[in-house]
Structure 1
Amino acid sequence: MTGRRTRPRPAGSPCVVLPYGVADGARNMAMDEAMLELAAGGATLLRFYGWEPWCLSLGRHQEPPDRLLGRSPEDLRPGVDAVRRPTGGRSVFHGPEITYAFACPARAWGRPRVVLQTVHRALGEGLRSLGVPLDEAMEGDPPDSGSLEVSRISGESCFRDPAPGELTVRGRKLVGSAQCCRHGGVLQHGSILLEDRQTLGDLDRKARPDEGSAAAVADEGPAIGLTDLLDPVPDTRLIVERLADTVARAFGARTAAASYAATPALTDLATGYESVHRSGAWLWLRERPSRHA
């Protein structure tokens, strides 16, 4: 990748920022898929959210360990929710973090890689403004999520290996992102870690009985959280406001504060997708049921 920065082309519809919310895995993934469908129709949307209960997500093409096939979703991690993402890549443990989702029409803002680079650059701007000492971006092109093959993907956590262009501190991954494209829309979502619990994202690693609880202490790993970097860590809503502002402005909004909006269409679409993400068939990669099922 050259030193030249690629910026998205102007679009007719500026970015709309949705209110911060907390939900379980199925609802969060349903909302993200609904955002993708609206993006295919021309909308540009940004959302930040949390997880309750904490959740383990699998990448779209990632197969769970053979020992777990057909068992209860809780067997992936006792006491932890489980869901399959619409995006590719490897497993992620969603615990103490702030998750973002951004969806836009690809033709309006550029190729998926341009979108990824622009979102990361905007998140980096917001994090640095909070005092986070981010590394300089690694050289090289980010992975093209559209080129993923349907094959057995490593059971290791997504946060184990930083990819070019991702946000790191001292070589440890702070933000992990994934993309998918459908019908001309692009969805990118990712985790901004407050604490590093990503050893829980390794599918082949056996968890302790209490490991998914809030009291569990994570092993030192290749990831890093804001609690390791800021003292004190700002309130979640302050972090969200700062990051929403930098991302929204990068995609055509004057300020995020002026673009919060309720979207009944998004809620209706998400209700249809929610049944997909509550399906054991989809979690275990046996089939993807209809969103109207």
Structure 2
Amino acid sequence: MSHIDRELVSNPEVTVCIACRNEEQNVEAIAAAVIAEMESVAARFDIIFIDNESNDRTVEIVTQMCDRDPRIKLIVNTRNFGQMRSPTHAIYAAQGSGVISMCADFQDSPALLPEFVRRWRAGTPIVLGVRKVEKNSLLLKFFRNLSYSLQRRFGDYPVIPNATGFGIYDRKVVTALKRLNEPEPFVRGMLVETGYRIETIPFDRPPRAGGRSKNNFFTLLDFALNGLAGSSRGLLRAPLYAAFLFGLLTLVCLAGAVLSPLWDGSWQLWLFAALLEGQMTLMFLFFGLLGVQIGLISERTRNQPLVLERERINFPPDYTCES
């Protein structure tokens, strides 16, 4: 591309962040699809691929794309930093006024990108794609629904079902996300936590261009548990609720011990039950107070980088990203 083209992409209107790991069969296809969609609506855009320790030719292929097109950038992590930290680091490294986050394996439909941009330009701070149908096994569906149920009950804010974080975020939203300083960022929950208005667009998941999904039951379970822990500080207070219930049972058993002689009951059994319930009350009370303290410590000490980078390609030499 010409020197003028390089000047255009030095200040992009929109940055598309694409997380990848062992996606040698998909990165060229996803880049071509994104470029085709973005050229229809955006004069200035760039693409950031962030590689999470691929052991195939993913980095080599993206590097070649970077040589051909300065709009394509690459961040290579020193190791696998997980499915939450790596994509978020790319979002924080983006320079666009609007930032789009998506995956390289076509689980997110590039066809939605023009509509994302149009709604964002119209003033919507966050626009998310929501999958209409999740084609999973019955066991995976059960645990997915259980995860959403727990997040609704214990979460500090509601999580949008079937929204993976695929969407566009305004620059002020990205700034707010960075200020939350989460060491294990559950972005789909953090977006709701910011309080900015969210619009959703339902879509059908497109077929993969190649390869297999890197997710399995255990990786998805780990992701759900991390998300629940990260989006639910109220969960740390759950033992306090249990302590309250056991405290009520203790009072009931003590009352039974006092009143049992009226019906020739065994006050010793009632008293023994009261002692057991009292022990459970003290135990859950201790765990609840400990959980609250852990939450406070977490709030005061979260200050670590999301990932460590091995290299960057096509970024301005003086540009730094603190994540």
Q: TM-score range by the shorter chain?
A: under 0.3
- Greater helix share, structure number: 2
TM-score normalised by structure 2 residue count: 0.26
Give me the TM-score of the superposition, normalised by structure 1: 0.28
Question: Which one has more relative contact order, counting CA pairs under 8 Å at least 6 apart?
Answer: 1
Report the structure number with the largest CA radius of gyration. 2
